[in-house]
Amino acid sequence: MRSELQSFLAQPKPTWRVIIDRYIASNKPFELAYRDAADRAITFTVRYAAIESIEKRQYLQCWCEESTGNEDLPPLNHNWTLRLDRISDAAITALKGKWHPGLKTIPVTLHFHNRLAFAYEAKASDLENDWHPEQTKVRRVVRPVSSTFWLFREVFPYGADCEIVSPPEIVAMFRQKVSELSDRYQK
């Protein structure tokens, strides 16, 4: 593992990635054009971006003018998460205009039950984190969510011990996912 890490650190970043890092550091919008895994030409007008590590991979979290093809809720469909190791080459062009203040978020209320309620470690981004005033052994957490995809990936492993309570649109989306999962196992 140590040799893999040393090998990774020895490899310089591709030029396009260095350019993106520069634009992010200076809060300058840019156009990102690349070919995806299916060899389709993709172009995004990026008005906000940050590099984040999620599940041991690096992603470009960005707010883009384009929303077509994003299946998230309308308030979140300008937010994109692009896996950087899937971009082999990219053309980056400077754009005029303002840097967006960040990813759009929606406050989501979660209830943690049983052992998970006691084991929950607060996140700096939590808007609220308290014991539920009317239900025993239930922790109520409100957090900003910029992507239902990543929210659902976080919630699924906890099963019935983690409940999405609001907003209703996200509860309905999650209920649909759970229904599809149940249907798959009815065969």
Secondary structure (DSSP) of 38-107 = T--EEEEEEEEEEEEEETTEEEEEEEES--TT--S-GGGTTEEEEEGGG-S-EEEEE--SPPPSS---EE
Q: Note the pLDDT tens digit of each residue in 43-92.
A: 999 999 999 999 889 999 999 999 999 999 999 999 999 999 899 899 99
pLDDT at 12: 74
Q: 81 exposed, middle or buried (CB, 10 Å; 0-12, 13-18, 19+)?
A: middle
Residue with tokens 């205009």: 97
> Cα separation of 154 and 150, whole Å?
6
Domains along the chain with CATH numbers: 14-94 (2.30.30), 106-184 (no CATH)
Q: What is the 3-state secondary structure (H, E, C) of 110-158?
A: EEEEHHHHHHCCCCCCCCEEEECCCCCCEEEEEEEECCHHHHHHHHHHH
Q: Please count the other Cβ atoms lying within 10 Å of the Cβ belonging to residue 58.
A: 13
The amino acid at residue 151 is L
pLDDT at 7: 64
What predicted TM-score, i.e. pTM, was given to this entire model?
0.86
Determine contact, residues 83/52, Cβ cutoff 8 Å.
Answer: no
Is the pLDDT score of 27 beyond 70?
A: yes
pLDDT at 118: 93
Mean pLDDT of 165-173: 96
pLDDT at 13: 83
Q: Note the pLDDT tens digit of each residue in 107-160.
A: 999 999 999 999 999 999 999 999 998 888 999 999 999 999 999 999 999 989
Determine contact, residues 144/61, Cβ cutoff 8 Å.
Answer: no
Reduce the DSSP state of residue 27 to 3 states and report it: coil
Is the pLDDT score of 1 beyond 80?
A: no
Residues 6+ apart with CB under 8 A from 23: 29, 30, 46, 49, 92, 94
